């Protein structure tokens, strides 16, 4: 599998992407990570560009990560929380987004409780749109930073065993990761109570287990998910305490784990429910690395969507022709220039 240049106007889902495009985005992350390790963590690549974070659901990591990513590329970054926007006065999503675009915005980063909201906006707007999590559908940038973290430790995806444990049915993170890992050749197991597993589990190409001990023993990587009480997960399980007793990852349960197991979590963690505190902060955990790499990952995405739009021949509606823009491979002159200042 070889990296394949990313020429799309938007980033809406992992399902849309080829394995080569996913690898290309991981290689972009490598290039921008170096900027974050400098004393002065700023390059002028997106000077004069505007990025708007339009969040209709709460967020700490994703919104802040996109804000830092944009600022480190010298873009102007504006945050709009739906709770203090004119959406509260009845303005439609389309009108809100079109008004934001009318202010010469280059990229809109959208989080919304409705699955498909970012894809809908991508069809309405000429600027780039990034899906920052839509309902129970997808969270593509989370999956990309998760893949990057896994690759840093395990080097290869082919044959790697990754378990995803928790409320799979309601998780956009799980969906994006199952699709991405399968595209890259990893074996995926999903694990949780039956009531939290999607009906189409097997059709996603994943193994299924309802025993967390089995998932732990089988895995090279254990991806744990938050129990989303706001998405009615409570109806799928008697109590958080019972979930912790049956599926929570604690030190005792990890006695059967491989010595080089990675434990991941997209955050926010319900400490003592999905993970005991000593495991969340323990030697297997790469949770804060995920957050760290997320900034470089999003720098790469903003650079591609905002930095090169005018070079995309065929215009923003088409995402550009295969013969269109200048090369943007991580090793290319453009990216070297982008991070060189």
**Three-state DSSP class for residue 128:** strand
- If the CB atoms of residues 264 and 306 are measured against ligand CP, the closer one turns out to be 264
| CB neighbours of residue 285 within 10 Å | 21
In the numeric block, the tokens 């969507």 are attached to: 305
- Burial of residue 306 (number of CB atoms within 10 Å: 0-12, 13-18, 19+): buried
| Shortest Å, Cβ 229 to ligand CP | 14
- Candidates 16-24, 207-215, 235-243, 263-271: pick the segment binding ligand CP (CB under 6 A): 263-271
189-220 residues labelled b (16+ CB within 10 A) or e (exposed) = bbbbbeebbbeebeebebbebeebeebbebbb
Q: The tokens of 320 are what?
A: 């550009």
- Candidates 59-67, 74-82, 206-214, 243-251: pick the segment binding ligand CP (CB under 6 A): 59-67
- If the CB atoms of residues 13 and 59 are measured against ligand CP, the closer one turns out to be 59
Residue 317 CA to residue 124 CA, distance in Å, equals 10
- Of 120-139, which residues contact ligand CP (CB under 6 A)? 133
Q: Work out the angle at residue 20's Cα, subtended by the Cα atoms of residues 329 and 62, and round it to the nearest 5 degrees.
A: 80
| Shortest Å, Cβ 67 to ligand CP | 11
| Shortest Å, Cβ 287 to ligand CP | 10
| Shortest Å, Cβ 210 to ligand CP | 25
- Candidates 55-63, 188-196, 210-218, 308-316: pick the segment binding ligand CP (CB under 6 A): 55-63
Among 267, 272, 319, 324, binds ligand CP (CB under 6 A): 267
- Candidates 43-51, 247-255, 260-268, 333-341: pick the segment binding ligand CP (CB under 6 A): 260-268
For helices 93-102 and 117-124, angle between their N-to-C axes, nearest 10 degrees: 50
- If the CB atoms of residues 70 and 133 are measured against ligand CP, the closer one turns out to be 133
Q: Which residues pair with 271 in a beta bridge?
A: 275
Please report whether residue 177 would count as binding ligand CP according to CB under 6 A.
no
Please report whether residue 61 would count as binding ligand CP according to CB under 6 A.
yes
* C-alpha to C-alpha distances, 19 to 47, 127, 220, nearest whole angstrom: 31, 25, 21
Q: Using CB under 6 A as the criterion, what x/- string covers residues 142-171 for binding ligand CP?
A: x-----------------------------
- Candidates 56-64, 95-103, 239-247, 276-284: pick the segment binding ligand CP (CB under 6 A): 56-64
Nearest to 338 by CA among 47, 4, 20: 47
Among 29, 31, 50, 59, binds ligand CP (CB under 6 A): 59
Please report whether residue 270 would count as binding ligand CP according to CB under 6 A.
no
User: 268 preceded by cis ω (within 30°)?
Assistant: yes
Number of residues interacting with ligand CP: please give it, by CB under 6 A.
9
Please report whether residue 258 would count as binding ligand CP according to CB under 6 A.
no
Helices (H), 110-206: 117-124, 140-154, 172-183
Among 70, 266, 307, 330, binds ligand CP (CB under 6 A): 266
Which residue ranges make up the site for ligand CP (CB under 6 A)? Answer: 59-62, 133, 142, 266-268
């Amino acid at each position: 599998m070889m990296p394949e240049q990313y020429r799309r106007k938007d980033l809406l889902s992992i399902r849309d992407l080829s394995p080569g495009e996913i690898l290309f985005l991981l290689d972009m992350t490598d290039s921008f990570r170096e900027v974050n390790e400098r004393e002065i963590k700023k390059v002028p690549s997106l000077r004069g560009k505007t990025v708007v974070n339009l969040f209709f659901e709460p967020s700490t990591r994703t919104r802040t990560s996109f804000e830092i990513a944009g600022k480190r590329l010298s873009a102007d970054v504006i945050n709009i929380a739906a709770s203090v926007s004119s959406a509260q006065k009845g303005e439609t999503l389309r009108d809100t987004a079109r008004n934001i675009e009318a202010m010469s915005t280059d990229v809109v980063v959208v989080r919304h409780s409705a699955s498909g909201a970012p894809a809908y906006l991508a069809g309405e707007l000429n600027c780039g749109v990034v899906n920052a999590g839509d309902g129970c559908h997808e969270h593509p940038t989370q999956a990309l930073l998760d893949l990057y973290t896994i690759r840093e430790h395990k080097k290869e995806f082919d044959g790697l065993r990754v378990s995803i444990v928790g409320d799979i049915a309601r998780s956009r993170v799980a969906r994006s990761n199952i699709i991405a890992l399968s595209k890259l050749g990893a074996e995926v197991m999903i694990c949780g109570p039956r009531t939290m597993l999607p009906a189409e589990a097997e059709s996603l190409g994943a193994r299924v287990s309802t025993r967390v001990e089995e998932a732990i023993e089988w895995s090279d990587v254990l991806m744990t998910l938050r129990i989303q009480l706001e998405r009615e997960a409570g109806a799928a399980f008697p109590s958080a305490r019972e979930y912790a007793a049956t599926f929570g990852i604690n030190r005792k349960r990890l006695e059967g784990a491989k010595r080089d197991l990675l434990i991941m979590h997209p955050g926010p963690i319900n400490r003592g429910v999905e993970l005991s505190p000593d495991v969340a902060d323990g030697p297997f955990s790469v949770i804060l690395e995920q957050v760290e790499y997320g900034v470089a990952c999003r720098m790469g995405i903003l650079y591609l969507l905002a930095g090169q739009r005018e070079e995309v021949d065929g215009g923003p509606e088409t995402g550009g022709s295969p013969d269109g823009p200048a090369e943007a491979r991580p090793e290319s002159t453009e990216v070297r220039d982008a991070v060189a200042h």
